Structure 1
Amino acid sequence: MTINEIAQMANVSRATVSRYLNDGYVSEEKRKRIARVIEQTGYVPSQQARTLRTGKTQFVGVIIPKISSESIAREVAGITSVLGASGYSTVLANTDGDGSAEISYIKSLADQGRSDGIILIGTEITEEHERLFRSLPLPLVVLGQHVKGVNCVYFNDYDSMYDLTLCCTVGSSHPAFIAVPERDYATGFLRRKAFVDAIGHQGFDVDAAPIEEGRFNARSGFDCAARIMEAHPQTDAIVCATDEIAAGALLYLHDSGRVVPGDVRLTGLGDSMLAKVVSPSLTTAHYYYRTSGAEAARMLLELMEQSEAAPHEVKMGYKLVLGGSTHSPA
């Protein structure tokens, strides 16, 4: 089925059908006839032809670091809900946390004209990333990391972890932290700094507080908690960089005969489903992941319409969620 055939069946000119498909002016009577024929025939305009006519692909590239992450899934749900409502399809690219793969995907999407814009759910933002951001010929929004002078939507990682540390360590005597690598500025550097500052402001000896660095999974949380408790058995509070790490630490504490929160208090961050189903439930911080994805998509849509707009940097809020891992039932 072609435009010419649609025009013939609707008894209008080819130009009229073209204007209709590109949202140009068509009289109401002719618009109804064309719509009726399209519905009857199931006609779908060629994407290649539409791209040639409009200069737009109607695709947006979304680059993610981990396809199995609950938080990223919620962010992507927010992104696709907004983009889909505006007629855009989403192309996902999974990097498995490889920064060089992020750069390759960004270049590919930009250089080969495969998308009208890019959303990068960022982890490690290097100088090479930042140079590339500023030289791109198409709009880009970073989600999850604060990059000055670049369009981004990010979380309040410092304040949320500071508050969680206070919640976990007030009344304790030997706090510890399970971190992730600092090359991830938000989750690694800022959350670690918040822990150190929070215990320092309470008068703890910062240098004496154990900090174990792990990975973004429960197995790593289990192993890190084991190393902490074996080397520092007096530890009575463990603050974790993420919920998944905290769930692994909780399993180790259970296996080693320690009671949570009676012997050891424990916190995560992210308010994941896992935080709710473990026993006791985790004290954590809720991040508005789906809302942040929707905000990033709206920002990108605005950029695609007004490419010269000044960079926007949006910091999302959070709320503490008190669970049984720090507070015994009344």
Structure 2
Amino acid sequence: MPRKSTLKDVADAVGVSPSTVSKVLSGTARVSVETRLRIEQAIEDLHYIPNVVARGLVQGQTYCIGVVTQAISSPFYGAAMLGVQEALDDTEYAPLYMDGRWMPRREEQALGRMMGRVDGIIVLGGRLDDDRVAHYARRVPLICVGRKIEGLEHQSLMVDNDAGARLAVEHLLELGHRKIAHIAGSPQQPDAEARKQTYLNLLQAEGIEVKPSWIVHGDFREQSGTLAMLQLLESGERFSAVFCANDQMAYGAMLALYRAGLRVPEDVSLIGFDDAYTSSFVLPPLTTVHQPMEEAGRAAAQGMLDLLEGKDINLGHLKPRLIVRESVRAHW
């Protein structure tokens, strides 16, 4: 195996000191353009790969950004992770991903394992208590996406759940639906509860009495959407439309309707929330509320880079929008 080129090899090839090469790599060198170009050419010719770990030890940095997601396989969180990666592509930083699988114990384990391994952490959603998240935020720069932590309001990036749920429910109401069931997310999830409350408020404002049997809770995964729809069908209640708190549960609900011999949207209209990439390709394509999660990932990563440079940030809210496809029809 050929010997790897070293920093000294590059320096010797150009006729400068190793510290000059190191400063060029870090962007802090005060050298002529000609010298810089000669160093960069020697690096290329010698196939020199900088030792980021060694440089990090000297500078007290890891050049890693931790990302604690809930499910690495989730199309919803996948969009946010893609946004993080895109924002870091042209920087020295690399993302390090771990998932909590919606279990506070695993989320805390992930945060603990990242201590000392990353320069900052982005937390996507989660169920870990706010005070525990704040505890880690006192030890390392931290940004939250999809939840707001007291004391970290400017470092919390939210999608307006009330506005998104309003878009979904008002769309159904405008098309004549009055008996609208709801497959909600976990009651422990603030975003799920916000969507459910908006659903209740809008129906009550229309003078529609929402029966308890119209609302069934899932856990944001496809299997729970199937089980929730089965429960709605077995309740004996008649409904013309279902508002699902996320797209993945809507996929599961579609499967339950198919197995029951019911057609979407001819027999039951279905609307989701998230606009996951796969929602364009289910049958029928799912009408849903778009959450700009890729944009959220990019904004969170850029916010982290700003924090690491000592800048003040204020991430605020992202606005959802309605995506009309083919899973909803008028009901007059």
Fraction of identical pairs, as percent: 27
Q: Deviations over 1:124-150 (max 9, x none)?
A: 2413334314422x2111112233431
Match of residue 106, structure 1, among 100, 103, 111? 111
The partner residue of 2:141 within 124, 139, 142 is 139
Match of 1:261 among 239, 262, 265: 265
Find 1:324's aligned residue among 320, 323, 326: 326
2:17 corresponds, among 13, 21, 26, to 13
Change (3 A) 1:324 1:104: same
Tell me the secondary structure at the aligned position of residue 45 of structure 1.
coil
Counterpart of 2:186?
181
Shift in Å, 1:176: 1.2
Letter in 1 for 2:142: L
Partner of residue 89 from structure 1, selected from 81, 91, 94: 94
Q: Deviations over 1:16-61 (max 9, x none)?
A: 2222222121222222222121111111122232013322211111
4+ long deviations beyond 4 Å: none
Which residue of structure 1 lines up, in the alignment, with residue 43 of structure 2?
38
CA distance in 2, matches of 1:139, 1:241: 31
**Which residue number in structure 1 is paired with residue 130 of structure 2?**
127
Q: 2:148, 2:158 within 8 Å by CA — same for their partners in 1?
A: yes
Relative distance call for 1:196 and 1:133 in structure 2 (3 A) is farther
3-state DSSP class of the match of 2:34?
Answer: helix
Q: Distance in 2 between matches of 1:154 and 1:125?
A: 17
Shift of 1:114: 1.1
RMSD: 2.0
Pick the aligned partner of 2:120 from 114, 117, 128: 117
Does structure 2 conserve the Cα–Cα contact (< 8 Å) formed by 1:146 and 1:313?
A: no
Deviations 1:205-262 (A, max 9, x none): 1344521111222222122111112213412221111112112212222332333333
The residue matched to 2:208 in structure 1 has which SS?
coil
Three-state SS of the structure 2 residue aligned to 1:62 is strand
Match of 1:192 in 2: 196
Q: Distance in 2 between the 1:315 and 1:42 partners? A: 44
Q: 1:306, CA displacement in angstroms?
A: 0.7
Return 5+ residue gaps in structure 1 as ranges: none
Give the 3 Å change call, closer, same or farther, for CA 272–77 of structure 1 in structure 2: same
Local SS of the residue matching 1:225: helix
- Say whether the 8 Å CA contact 1:276–1:282 is kept in structure 2: yes
Match status 1:60 vs 2:60: no
Which runs of no fewer than 5 residues in structure 2 stay unpaired? none
Partner in structure 1 of residue 78 of structure 2:
73
Alignment partner, residue 289 of structure 1: 293
The reply to whether residue 161 of structure 1 matches residue 200 of structure 2 is no
Partner-residue secondary structure (3-state), 1:238: strand
Give the aligned partner of residue 234 of structure 2. Answer: 230
SS of equivalent to 1:176: strand
Change in 2 beyond 3 A, CA 1:125/1:192: farther
1:252 aligns with 2:256: yes
In 1, Cα distance between equivalents of 2:227 and 2:282? 18
TM-score for the superposition, normalised by structure 2: 0.90
Distance 2:324 2:206 in 1: 21
Instruction: Count how many residue pairs are aligned between Structure 1 and Structure 2.
Output: 323
Once the two structures are superposed, what CA deviation does each residue of 1:68-96 show, in whole Å capped at 9, x if it has no partner? Answer: 11121111111111112122111111222
* Residues 208 and 99 (structure 1), Cα distance of their counterparts in 2 relative to 1, 3 Å cut: closer
Deviation readout 1:99-140 (Å, 9 max, x if unpaired): 222222223323xx211111111222413334314422x211
> Which deviates further from its counterpart, 69-78 or 225-234?
225-234
Per-residue Cα deviation, 1:245-298 (whole angstroms, up to 9, x for no partner): 112212222332333333322111111233222232222111111111100011
Given candidates 214, 219, 235, the residue that maps to 1:215 is 219
Match of 1:206 in 2: 210
Distance 1:285 1:15, change over 3 A: same
Of stretches 257-266 and 40-49 in structure 1, the one that deviates more from structure 2 is: 257-266
**Alignment partners' CA distance in 2, 1:161 and 1:209:** 20
> What SS is found at the alignment partner of 2:290?
strand
Encode CA deviations 1:180-209: one digit per residue, 9 max, x unaligned: 2121211x2111111111211111113445
Q: TM-score, normalised by structure 1?
A: 0.91
On the 8 A contact 1:244/1:274 being kept in 2, the answer is no
